Structure 1
Amino acid sequence: MKLSVILKTLNEENRIGAAIESVIAALEAVPDIESEIIVADSGSKDRTIEIASRYPVIIAQIQAPAKASCGVGPQLGFQYSKGEFVALMDGDMLLDPTFLPEAFDYLDKHPRVAGVSGDINEVNLDNLEFTRRVQRIASQVKHGVRDRLNGGGVYRRAAIEEAGYFSDRNLHAFEEFDLAQRLRLRGWTLYRLDRRYVDHFGHNINSYVLLTRRWSSKYLLGTGELLRAGWQQGRLKQVVQENPEIKLWLGVYAWWAILLFCLIGSLFHPIGLIAFVALLVLPVVAMSIKKKSLELGLYAIVAWCFHAAALPFGILSRRKDPGSWIESTLLKP
């Protein structure tokens, strides 16, 4: 039996060395399993490749016309992998040293489980985006059968091949949900163990700067891109039903329309301006109360607006065959 560990990277010079070392240490807990570590790089401009080259790993990097996206990395690593099982993690994660034996034990006992994961421990909570993520995860049932494995996990190759491909190269977000839905529609299940999978360090930059970067990197187009993929593949209904974010963005459009109506009305009567200000402030107040933080409440509303504005651009984005070979080169076979 062989395991391929895929580390997807893009400018991870600060963390890639520790990430690789954590994988090497974790593989020592499963000495009877043959393994390979694949660094799947989406075009790093820093010292990521230089640092990764010091370790016993395979390094693959995209080449034009391939472009960086969240969906490119996993598929890039998968197309060079040989393992019967594939573990996916980011280049800024540390793999728990005792996770793999328990994961393989569960997969061995449950042959229709396509993938298993565990808790994603968010280390960096200085950023509002990751604070919101932790709160959102804490409000859900974290363990047991899941509809997706956000943050990575260990997958069966046979299940991935049955689903067509590992990740959709066209998606700038929701690539793990997309994979999970394709697996579930074919009768596979996913499971999150009640134990840690990885420590995740995330972005250590201002939250609003991160939002603008996610716009320029097209990350915010992910919802629209997912809708288009679902429509083309005949699963649009399931995509909409299983993503409450889509209904939320539609609610943002309705809010904008009402605000515009009030603003126009203010030209004819002062009550229109009062209504505009009240409706502008009300969602921020409501979210601040819910989050118990004005800072988090305001950021949530701003983030919603960014996502809603990006939705149509994602729907209109051009797509390539998600199962096609990703243009790339092996920098270190």
Structure 2
Amino acid sequence: MAVSIIIKTLNEEKRLAATIESALAALGDGQGEVVIADSGSTDRTVEIASRYPVVIAQIVAPARPSCGIGPQLGFQHSSGDYICLLDGDMLLDAGFLGAAIRFLKENPAVGGVTGHVEEMLVANLEYARRVQRNGPESRIGPIDRMNGGGLYRRSAIEQAGYLSDRNLHGHEEFDLGIRLRSAGWRLHRLDRRFVQHFGHTLNSYRLLVRRWKNKYLHGVGELLRASLGKPYFFQLMRELPELKLWGAVYLWWALSIAVLVFLPDKTLALGLVLAVLAGIVALMSLRKGGLGMGLYTVVAWFFHATALPVGFLRRRRPPAAPIESRIIHEPTRTAAERAPAGHKHFRKLPS
């Protein structure tokens, strides 16, 4: 059974060579391919990737970078029976593919399997605390999404319609998970390492601003828009607990505005609004273990709540339509290995 390892990239020159080498090593001498799905890197990402026997597909205008476009671009140019999805700053565990394929063969109702994502560089304290809890990032057994990637059956992806929605700037794993589950497939996390991840080293506030600028925070709103009219819409509403939180934030804002507008004594009105704000920050500081984390939590609420309607109102493009792209590198193949135009072919990587 052939495996296509898709590596999503956007300016990943720092760690991409190690990522590719880990993917090639995991494939060994068997049939397999590595597809670099590049969202328009401006650094040495493509140059570095071109040194290896990999396929490099890159978006072209009018396609624009997003969290969802990379996986779908790679899927579009892949042909394996199994699809393994990685970021360009991950190292694939050498034994994961074998264990994952065995599990899928033994469990035909499972459409995707992953393992633990071992975070090597975590400067965002809130994220560090979250991954230590029993959340979707660490739960063993049946799961609702495969955050960080994993191994999927191509047949399951095709039944779900597409691998990843190009319109999403975040929550693309959740979107895929709920589409697969709606189609009758299950997802599973093995109690073993999948990858080592060398992620963000920005502090919390800089990362928050970065996620605003690159539209990552629009993801929840875009996900809601994408699910409108779908049979799993209400299930998605139930499974996104942050929606209740953002609803509470909107109510808080509305009440604050009402106090400022309708209370005749404006000084008193402003004092009440600020007192409530200070009280909420104090409460979150007690829960999070410090004033810094309490203040950051409330600021993050404001960013996320503001971004949700912006993402919801963004114009969408058909998620299953071919992504505008070009192949800028691929392994040398003999004439016998070349498939007719338009036919999905499989490349055997050199040993």
TM range (shorter): over 0.9
Residues 153-172 of structure 1 aligned to structure 2 (within 5 Å):
153-172=150-169
Offset of 1:22 from its aligned partner?
Answer: 1.4
Task: Give the secondary structure class of the aligned counterpart of 2:36.
Answer: strand
Q: Distance in 1 between matches of 2:285 and 2:213?
A: 28
Residue 115 of structure 2 is aligned to residue 87 of structure 1: no
Distance change >3 Å, CA 269–CA 316, structure 1 → 2: closer
Whole-angstrom distance in 1 between the partners of 2:136 and 2:225:
29
Shift of residue 141 of structure 1? 6.4
Structure-2 change in CA distance of 1:320 and 1:307 (3 Å) = same
Matched, 1:11 2:11: yes
How far apart are the structure 1 equivalents of 2:135 and 2:290?
Answer: 17
Q: Confirm or deny: 8 A CA contact 1:266 1:273 kept in the other structure.
A: no
Verify: 1:23 aligned to 2:20, yes or no.
Answer: no
2:276 aligned with 1:279, yes or no?
yes
1:240 — aligned with what? 237
Partners of 1:128 and 1:274 lie apart in 2 by 31
- Kindly indicate whether the alpha-carbon contact (under 8 Å) linking 1:86 and 1:156 is maintained by their aligned counterparts in 2: yes
Query: What is the count of residue pairs matched by the alignment?
Result: 330
Residues 58-91 of structure 1 show CA distances to partners (whole Å, capped at 9, x for unaligned) of 1000000000000000000000001000000100
> 1:326 — aligned with what?
323
Deviations 1:213-260 (A, max 9, x none): 222211111111111110043432122111111111111111212232
- Using the TM superposition, give the Cα deviation of residue 153 of structure 1 relative to its aligned residue in structure 2, in angstroms: 0.5
Please list every run of 5 or more consecutive structure 2 residues that lacks an aligned counterpart in the other structure: 331-351
- SS of 1:39's equivalent in the other structure is strand
Which shows bigger deviation, 277-286 or 261-270?
Answer: 261-270
Do residues 179 (structure 1) and 173 (structure 2) align? Answer: no
Identity of aligned residues (%): 55
Distance 1:139 1:113, change over 3 A: closer
SS at match of 1:168: coil
Does the Cα contact within 8 Å between 1:132 and 1:296 map onto a contact in 2? Answer: no
> In structure 1, what is the Cα distance between the partners aligned to 2:78 and 2:136?
36
**Residue in structure 1 matched with residue 48 of structure 2 by the alignment:** 51
Specify the structure having the higher radius of gyration (Cα).
Answer: 2
TM-score (norm 1): 0.94
Question: Residue 231 of structure 1: which of 205, 214, 228 is its match?
Answer: 228
Within 2, Cα distance between the matches of 1:2 and 1:34?
6
Q: Does the 8 Å contact 1:99/1:196 carry over to 2? A: yes
Cα distance 1:130–1:56, how it changes in 2: closer, same or farther (>3 A)? farther
Aligned pairs for 1:74-223 within 5 A? 74-128=71-125, 130-135=127-132, 142-223=139-220
Which piece of structure 1 moves more, 65-74 or 244-253?
Answer: 244-253
Distance 1:310 1:132, change over 3 A: farther
Contact 2:221 2:312 in 1 (8 A): yes
Aligned counterparts of 1:179 and 1:139: Cα–Cα separation in 2: 14
RMSD: 1.8
Which amino acid letter does the alignment assign opposite residue 241 of structure 2?
A: P
* 2:295 aligned partner, one-letter code: L
Q: Is the 8 A contact 2:57 2:74 kept in 1?
A: yes
Q: Are the structure 2 counterparts of residues 137 and 89 from structure 1 closer, same or farther at C-alpha, using a change threshold of 3 Å?
A: farther
Where do residues 36-75 of structure 1 align in structure 2 (5 Å cutoff)?
36-75=33-72
Q: SS of the counterpart of 1:120?
A: strand
Aligned-partner SS, 1:170: coil
Q: Are the counterparts in 1 of residues 110 and 187 from structure 2 also a CA contact under 8 Å? A: yes
Instruction: Tell me, in whole angstroms, the C-alpha distance in 2 between the residues paired with 1:139 and 1:221.
Output: 20
Distance 1:288 1:153, change over 3 A: same
Relative to 1, partners in 2 of residues 1:17 and 1:104: Cα closer, same or farther, differing over 3 Å? same
Are residues 137 and 48 of structure 1, via their aligned partners in 2, closer, same or farther at CA, if it must alter by over 3 Å?
A: farther
Go from structure 1 to structure 2 and tell me whether the alpha carbon gap of 1:68 and 1:269 turns closer, same or farther (over 3 Å shift): closer
